A and B are shown apart, each in its own frame.
Chain A
Amino acid sequence: MHNSDQFTKQVKSGTNIQENKKRYETLLDKICLMAGVVTGILQLESTYGFLAFIITYLMAVIVYTLWICNGRPGSFYENTISDLLFDNFTRELMGFIMAWTFSFALIG
């Protein structure tokens, strides 16, 4: 008998998983859109803009993990690394670039 047997696995609540993911997504959406606007106001170009995005994104992930998840993301998310770090990356990058180019063109 090995431990990956379906009866020995911990049963998870699907609705709660979805709800937690949704809340995290909303938080990242807000932060990354506003980061884009601020990057445009500062008129950052090329690499600096993407660097600003990556720094903001990582800071948001770290603060979320320590504050909202109480440092134990495992009890609120199924696959911690992919759920918190990779799943929303493309979505947020697209939102960031949209807000960045918009405010950049508006101000410059």
Chain B
Amino acid sequence: MTFISKTIQYISIIVILHSGFSSYEFHQTYKQLSINDISSETLTLPKDIKYEAIAGFILFIISVFISFEKIQYFSLRRQEGHSIETLSQGHYLKFISLNKATDSDNMMNSDPTGDVSYTPNMIHLHEKRKQMSDWLQKQQEAIK
């Protein structure tokens, strides 16, 4: 929830509470008038209280909608020394079709099945060691 949304929400709650208190005061007075037999049938809730309550409600709705932010991601494999970039697809909600839902995982280099595919039992260790030693050899030859 953003700062603006929170601010508007607090303001709207204060406005609604104030209009509620005004309405309460009005109805207490109204009861007194009807007890004392003063003709009060034409009395209705004053317009300013009505408008205040409605304005507070509209502000509240706006604040609730503003609290939705476009979803942002951090890249997991960012390079050292670079500032943190935020990635976004420009939407407030997440896509439900799987081909688009996995886009966000690809974007931030996250592997949802990583805990399975990197389990030591699943890795061909000898093959990996061979690849590593080959790579090291190549590196040393390049230096020479």
Contacts and interface: CB of A to CB of B under 8 A. Distances in A.
Contact of A107 (B24, B64, B99): B24
A89 interface: no
Given A34-B57, A67-B65, A41 B93 contact: no
B91 A107 contact: no
A48 B48 CA distance: 19
Chain B: interface secondary structure? Answer: helix
Contacts of A78: 96
A22 B91 CA distance: 16
A66 B102 CA distance: 25
Contact of A41 (B23, B64, B101): B23
Chain A: interface secondary structure? Answer: helix
Q: Which of B54, B97, B100 has the most CB of A within 10 A?
A: B97
B97 A12 contact: yes
B65 A107 contact: no
Contacts of A11: 97-99
Contact of B50 (A20, A42, A67): A42
Contacts of B61: 31, 34, 60, 63
A78 B57 CA distance: 31
B45 A107 contact: no
A35 B56 CA distance: 10
B53 A42 contact: yes
Q: Which of A17, A19, A31, A37 has the most CB of B within 10 A?
A: A37
